[in-house]
Structure 1
Amino acid sequence: MVEFRGPLAGFGVTLTTMFKKPNTVNYPEEKRPTAPRYHGRHRLNRYPDGLEKCIGCELCAWACPADAIYVEGADNTDTERYSPGERYGRIYQINYLRCIGCGLCIEACPTRALTMTNEYEMADDNRADLIYEKDRLLAPLEPGMDPPPHPMVPGATDEDYYRGTIPLAEGGGR
């Protein structure tokens, strides 16, 4: 009699589970929202006039324990200005085959140029496509933003940009 209790208990668990509501989602047709503070794909941010926040300091690459970030800085000129400072990130790459999503790069960024979004879909069938270049990482231009390179807002200094006190004209642009 004792020999039958073990298998019957197992079948009992199976029977009760069979009639419960499923806890699955039809992904990718149905996508559950992520938590507000979820660490997903990285984004390089812009200032309200369209200039890039990245100053090419490479601190994010140095802070990355997985060596997933490569940054090559360059100097801004009077004719070609990509960021308000004297330097900008000419080449910016994140290798998502190596990235562990720890967020240390975000903490290291002195200008808050690098943040993480809620996007989590980064699967691909090609390894080379999982190395995101600057063009895929930059935040899109919003209405009123001018694509760089362009000069800083007239009358503004790089200190105004870093403090967030840029004197923008009516309508958001320069």
Structure 2
Amino acid sequence: MAEKKKPVGKAAPAAKPAPARKPAPAGTPAGRQSKAVAPRPKGGEVATPAPEGYRSLIEPRTGLAELFAPVGGFGVTLSNMFRKTVTEQYPSEKVPAKPRYHGRHQLNRYADGLEKCIGCELCAWACPADAIYVEGGDNTPDQQFSPGERYGRVYQINYLRCIFCGLCIEACPTRALTMTNEYELAGPTRAGMIWEKDDLLAPMREGMLTSPHPMVEGTTDTDYYRGEVTHATDAQRAWVAEHRPDDPTLPGGAGLDVANELAPTAAAMAATVAAATKQGTR
């Protein structure tokens, strides 16, 4: 029986040859094409060459300086190895702190005795440790604690949280909050490490009157901020004598020693520090 012949159709188009691939560098995984990269600089160059006409201001080392350059960084270490060691005999001998040391905080006063704090709470917002708590209050004619309209009614600093970074004093717009050089802070209880406003207020000085009392007559808060108020006036003394005749800062009163008695929290901490110093003194 004769075999059937397949119908003759159009020939299938020839497949296009695949484009030739560039050979992959050695170490490249199979099936992964490497990206083109810029050629590496020759002759040990690791940076863009200096523009024409450039001259370095650093004088090149020569001779012994070039020889000892690799160990030059150990100069400070080697020079201190042969110095006499100084040991501070604390607490028997207390070395004064540097002038810019960040110690305990202080709420300052103006020259007539009014408080500088205006209760703006910027120090509390700037504190990274959330150690400051402030509540502002309104000044009234009978209760004028600071120049202007507002004053710090409540002011607390938790020294268990404080990291003494100084950001709070940078944020204060009236320079009411500063930091002293006092670094001996200790207490037997957690509550005793939270200082109130009375503990933080700066001590009274000669010519000041304990707040509250009116502002210097004929002045505004701007005059206080500019430092134009230098002392308390007779009108302010008369107002304090009328409302608080037993005020220790009045002429003939008990004096600054009574006015500057420590508040309970500060007094308890001072007693604790004094006892620890006595125990540790040789």
TM-score (norm 1): 0.83
Cα distance in 2, alignment partners of residues 98 and 135 from structure 1: 19
Counterpart of 1:118 in structure 2 is: 181
Question: Cα 1:169–1:146, aligned 2, differ >3 Å: closer, same or farther?
Answer: closer
Deviation of the 1:163 alpha carbon? 1.0
Cα distance in 2, alignment partners of residues 121 and 90 from structure 1: 27
The size of the alignment, in residue pairs, is 155
Counterpart of 1:13 in structure 2 is: none
User: Given the alignment of the two structures, is residue 136 of structure 1 paired with residue 199 of structure 2, yes or no?
Assistant: yes
User: Given the alignment of the two structures, is residue 80 of structure 1 paired with residue 143 of structure 2, yes or no?
Assistant: yes
User: Given the alignment of the two structures, is residue 62 of structure 1 paired with residue 125 of structure 2, yes or no?
Assistant: yes
Deviation of the 1:24 alpha carbon? 2.6
Counterpart of 1:25 in structure 2 is: 88
Deviation of the 1:26 alpha carbon? 2.8
Question: Cα 1:167–1:122, aligned 2, differ >3 Å: closer, same or farther?
Answer: closer
Cα distance in 1, alignment partners of residues 137 and 233 from structure 2: 32
Counterpart of 1:12 in structure 2 is: none
Instruction: Report the 3-state secondary structure (helix = DSSP H, G, I; strand = E; otherwise coil) of the residue aligned with 1:60.
Output: helix
Deviation of the 1:170 alpha carbon? 7.9
Deviations 1:78-99 (A, max 9, x none): 1110000100001000000000
Cα distance in 2, alignment partners of residues 35 and 140 from structure 1: 21
Counterpart of 1:16 in structure 2 is: none
| Residues 82 and 88, structure 1, Cα contact 8 Å, conserved in 2 | yes
Query: What percentage of aligned pairs have identical amino acids?
Result: 72
Deviation of the 1:55 alpha carbon? 0.1
Unaligned runs of 5+ in 1: 1-19
Cα distance in 2, alignment partners of residues 52 and 119 from structure 1: 21
Deviation of the 1:165 alpha carbon? 1.0
| Residues 153 and 167, structure 1, Cα contact 8 Å, conserved in 2 | no
| Residues 216 and 233, structure 2, Cα contact 8 Å, conserved in 1 | no
Deviation of the 1:28 alpha carbon? 1.9
Instruction: Report the 3-state secondary structure (helix = DSSP H, G, I; strand = E; otherwise coil) of the residue aligned with 1:119.
Output: coil
1:100 corresponds, among 142, 148, 163, to: 163
Counterpart of 1:43 in structure 2 is: 106
Amino acid at match of 1:112: R
Instruction: Report the 3-state secondary structure (helix = DSSP H, G, I; strand = E; otherwise coil) of the residue aligned with 2:223.
Output: helix
Deviation of the 1:21 alpha carbon? 6.8
Deviation of the 1:155 alpha carbon? 1.6
Cα distance in 2, alignment partners of residues 168 and 110 from structure 1: 22
Question: Cα 1:169–1:116, aligned 2, differ >3 Å: closer, same or farther?
Answer: closer
Cα distance in 1, alignment partners of residues 118 and 192 from structure 2: 25
Q: Over aligned residue pairs, what C-alpha RMSD do you find?
A: 2.1
Instruction: Report the 3-state secondary structure (helix = DSSP H, G, I; strand = E; otherwise coil) of the residue aligned with 1:161.
Output: helix
Unaligned runs of 5+ in 2: 1-82, 238-282
2:97 corresponds, among 31, 34, 47, to: 34
| Residues 111 and 230, structure 2, Cα contact 8 Å, conserved in 1 | no
Q: Which moved more, 1:124-133 or 1:95-104?
A: 124-133
